[in-house]
Structure 1
Amino acid sequence: MSQKESSLRSAQSELNKLRGELKQKKAAAERAESALKQKLDLLNHKYEDATAKVRDLEVRLEQTEATLEETTEALSVEEGRVRELEASSVAKTEHHTLKKYFHAAAAAAALLLLCLIISLATGGAGKGGGASEAADAAALEREYMSSISNLKSEHTELLEELSREKAALQLQVEAHSNSSTSHGQKVNELAAMVDEHKNECNALRQSLHTEKSEKEKLHKELHTAHEEQKQELVQTHQETVEMHESKIAELLAAHEAKHALLQATEDKLSRHLTSTAEAGRRLLPGEILDKGEFLRNDCESVAAEAACVEHYLEVTSNGNVVIYRGNPEADAGADPEAGAKVEVWATKTARKPVKARFWHKAETAAEPHHEFRLRRDGVLIVVDTDRSKIMWKSTGKTQPKGNYRAFIDTEGSLLVELNGEVVWRNQ
């Protein structure tokens, strides 16, 4: 039994060790899985942040493109206005030039008219002339000179007005050119911003693609590692189960072999004790004499063995208490001279079979179990343990409780004594 217990303890310790290793591997796998999940969650957060940033940049890019379009339209409008102003300036210049040419032509015509008048006046004077014509010519000359001076003053005023308008137009052209330059710079800045946003968007898309590929790769690695750990744990569990099953089978086989050996030893020992060890056994209060056990009188302590005959008490399967003379292992009714057992006293408390009703089938009664006991009040009883029923009593008298003893004397009688005094005898 000690070897069996030690082998069971060693197997249990190995099983606990394997369970601890399995728990450690499982905990390590769970920690690795949690770390991978945290890394995956971090990548997901980074991916979401980058996606939000890309969306923001796309919105800003759309706004910048809309602003660029508005600025381009405003620039085109300003360029149209500049062209209109330049066209109006050219038209005004042409108008003033035509006006100047017209005044010059008018002056030339007036001069020609004056010359014609003078020639006519000179011709008339040659023929007969007079003082009146000379006076008229002088008046015409004065009028011509005044008209010439007026034309000069008007021409000067027109030139001054033209120079002023030209200066104003020049200022407007410079202002529009400055505005066009600023708009061009703004357009260039917006185009640079658009290019920068496009580059950032492309870089973010590339980083998102890289993170997505890393995420997929990490997910595949996690899945592969999880499957490998799962297969390893399953394989380890199967190997452990198989090993323990084989060990359990070996232990069970060894236990059965040891149990069979122990049973054989116990049977041999019981057969030996019936003839030797139980000699002079006394049944104490609370003790039980079960089926297959005997009470034997003590003839070995008697000086003259011829004066003592061996007697045995046993409980039969039908619940009777029987005292035999001779060998208890021999068959009843054999030759007494050859050491066969002979019944000398017995109780008649055999259990009657249960009668079945006519509408019921006869019940097959199982073999009952009876026990022979000594109570603390000195009464010997036979108990049917299946029904918890007392089948026989040695006496119905009430006696005080004490240290009673039940035994078989040298004559083969069953006695109950208290403090050396016999309080009951079977016969």
Structure 2
Amino acid sequence: MNHSWHQTNYRLRHWWPNFENKYIESRYHLEKFSVNGFAVARGILVLALFFSLFSISDQYVPFVIPEAKLFSVGVKFTIGLVGFACYMAIIKDMTRKRIYTVVNFFLAAFLFALFITFYTYSQWLQSPATLFELAICCSFLTILIYIFVPLSLGQQLITALGFVVLFVLSAIFVFPDHASRIGFSTTFILLANTIGLSISYTINKNFREAWSNQQERERDNMLLKVEIDQRKKLEEQLKKLAMTDALTGVDNRRSFMEHLSREKKRADRQFTPLSIITFDIDLFKHINDQFGHEVGDKVLIDVATVVDERLRETDILGRMGGEEFAILMADSNKREANQLAKSLCKALSDHTVIHNDKAIKVTASFGTAEYQTNEPIDILLRRADKAMYDAKIVDVIALAISPNNAVQIKVYCFGIKILPAFSSIYSSYQFRS
């Protein structure tokens, strides 16, 4: 016996399988109508038209008053118009919001019409014709449950058959002398159950499989998209690492040269000005020797930060190697490059690197060069470097001497007098001009 029940239950579940996950099951019911917009619209139209055709039976049943017949026919005809309007509304716009709104509106209108019809028959229809007309109302309600109520197979069967039992008990109590009509009406409701069950099977069984396959495809596509995004992100990170100086975060030499090559071609093509600035941190070797490479790295980072904060969005700062940097200025001539170099001289001289409560003043030597048409890139960089090294000589007017060596001190930068770098770097030096 138990084996037979389990086998039957398995067949039912296999015939109409519900999703074991309750969240997926509820989500399926929410999306069931929105995905099948045309099928929903057609179902509403057919149900409304059948209910309208139900008004034909009103011509052959005796009403107590003629107005009741006209009222009953009018209600059914109105539902037909409402169903057609809902059909057109869904066809024109099959968005989820529109379908939900239309379905809820139609269900409310249809249930209200059933209630009005049921009340009209029970009040103004002469017995025993009332029995059959009420059976038709229950049949429509049963079909409505099968199509629109989001229940499982067992729940739909129990609910629909519950209406049958309730109808039979009510009919026996109200019309005890009309057993044949009760049997015929009950058979009609059972037929409606069969129709509703077949419609529900068509909607649920086939669409469940299609929806399940669609969800699997969407999940696979989502996983694939996540994997692709991760790979793209990794590629971007690798590309950034390959084009960025790891210490300062600015462009490395390779990236800077690619930008310079691209801007050179644009300048040749559009006849626009192009300038570069090269600068070198003064006495960087002494900073490393006296304070260590950790402080030297901090100086490089601070210099790159101070300079980068004062550049335009179109300017590109690159570390060419060691303590040497370069700035690419598109659409800028030498005069504009000189102005920027002066402002950067002042900014660096005003900046202080703090290490163990000691202030380290940092200066740099700048050189500028404007691109000449069809000039090779290496020649352009060489001219800027020459201007930078010339500045190292011209701008020095003081000499710091220690027992072991002598260090030149920068006092001017691009004609601007800056504070001499007489900081803790030269604490063991004696100065003379």
Q: TM-score, normalised by structure 1?
A: 0.27
Q: TM-score, normalised by structure 2?
A: 0.27
- Which fold has the larger relative contact order, with Cα–Cα distance below 8 Å and residues 6 or more apart in sequence? 1
